[in-house]
């Protein structure tokens, strides 16, 4: 059975199976999952390579066992070519980063992209604010976008770095302000750990609000490699309990090699 994303999503009942992992079951080509969480990769991990040859990058990452890819850069590509490349390797887009300014001319184009590629969770990947008031205003802005996107079946959230935990305004850090506003997250567990917080604890608090995690090492170059202080079995268990569907591997120390994403996959396989 040819179980590409495009063919399989042709019917609504088939789409439901895809979201549940049924496509992989039918095709026998499901790649790796840990506690039901599928493993993708953030293309920033190989940014110096994939931009030069997306076809080669998709092929190599799929051969390593990744079943999903993520990049804000996908939006500016030729969508027909992108779709052909993804379908050719049996890859899905893992959620979608976006900035509110991308909606300056309206929501239609971005929503078309999400519908075409089966994206149902989008998130702002980085913000830097100077006060609690600015962070609250940003939360209101994201909530308003979420209200517009809800009727299309798309959730809207945020991706954290370290400064959201380290800064404090009016007795709270920015992450707590966004959490209190009810936003979902792509929780970057590496940044949580490096900011001296516990990703397992936060995953418990975010139950139902963390569709994906950014599986970044908490130190070192590779997930569960030398120098990584994250407790990955505990993280995957907590993420599964929180309803997480995807873990996107992010190796940011070196971006001109496949070695770190390969080592990460080898280590994740041991947890499966």
> CA nearest 113: which of 80, 155, 146?
80
pLDDT tens digits along 193-208: 999 999 999 999 999 9
pLDDT tens digits along 70-116: 999 999 999 999 999 999 999 999 999 999 999 999 999 999 999 99
Residue 2: pLDDT band (50, 70, 90) is very low
What's the pLDDT at 94?
A: 97
What's the pLDDT at 31?
A: 74
| Whether the predicted model's global pTM rises above the 0.85 cut | yes
Distance of CA 70 to the CA centre of its chain: 6
Q: What is the mean pLDDT of residues 220-235?
A: 98
Residue 3: pLDDT band (50, 70, 90) is very low
Contact status, residue 127 vs residue 89, Cβ threshold 8 Å: no
Query: What's the rounded Cα separation, in Å, for the pair 93 and 122?
Result: 11
**Tokens at 225, concatenated:** 């490699």
11-25, 101-115, 135-149, 225-239: range with lowest mean pLDDT: 11-25
Domain residue limits, the chain: 1-30, 32-271
What's the pLDDT at 5?
A: 52
pLDDT tens digits along 22-71: 344 333 345 789 999 999 999 999 999 999 999 999 999 999 999 999 99
What's the pLDDT at 28?
A: 35
Under CATH, what is the fold of the domain 32-271? Answer: TIM Barrel (3.20.20)
What's the pLDDT at 223?
A: 98
pLDDT, mean over the chain: 91
Query: What's the rounded Cα separation, in Å, for the pair 127 and 160?
Result: 9
Judged against a pLDDT cut of 50, whether residue 12 lies above it is answered with: no
Contact status, residue 188 vs residue 214, Cβ threshold 8 Å: yes
């Amino acid at each position: 059975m040819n179980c590409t994303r495009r063919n399989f999503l042709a019917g609504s009942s088939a789409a439901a199976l895809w979201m549940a992992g049924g496509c992989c079951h039918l095709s026998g080509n499901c790649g790796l999952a840990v506690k039901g969480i599928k493993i993708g990769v953030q293309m920033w991990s190989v940014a110096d390579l994939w931009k030069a040859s997306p076809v080669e990058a998709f092929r190599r990452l799929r051969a390593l066992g990744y079943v999903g890819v993520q990049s804000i850069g996908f939006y500016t590509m030729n969508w027909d070519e992108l779709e052909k490349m993804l379908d050719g390797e049996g890859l899905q887009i893992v959620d979608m980063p976006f900035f509110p300014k991308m909606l300056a001319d309206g929501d239609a184009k971005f929503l078309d992209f999400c519908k075409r590629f089966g994206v149902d969770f989008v998130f702002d990947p980085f913000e830097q604010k100077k006060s609690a008031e600015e962070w609250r205003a940003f939360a209101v802005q994201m909530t308003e976008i979420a209200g517009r996107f809800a009727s299309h079946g798309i959730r809207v959230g945020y991706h954290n770095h370290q400064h959201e935990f380290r800064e404090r305004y009016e007795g709270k850090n920015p992450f707590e302000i966004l959490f209190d506003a009810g936003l979902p997250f792509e929780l970057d567990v590496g940044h949580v750990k490096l900011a001296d917080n516990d990703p397992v604890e936060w995953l418990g608090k975010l139950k139902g609000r963390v569709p994906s995690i950014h599986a970044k090492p908490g130190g070192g170059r590779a997930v569960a490699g030398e120098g990584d202080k994250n407790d990955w079995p505990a993280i995957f268990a907590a993420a599964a309990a929180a309803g997480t569907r995807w873990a996107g591997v992010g190796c940011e120390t070196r971006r001109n090699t496949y070695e770190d994403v390969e080592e990460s996959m080898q280590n994740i396989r041991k947890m499966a």
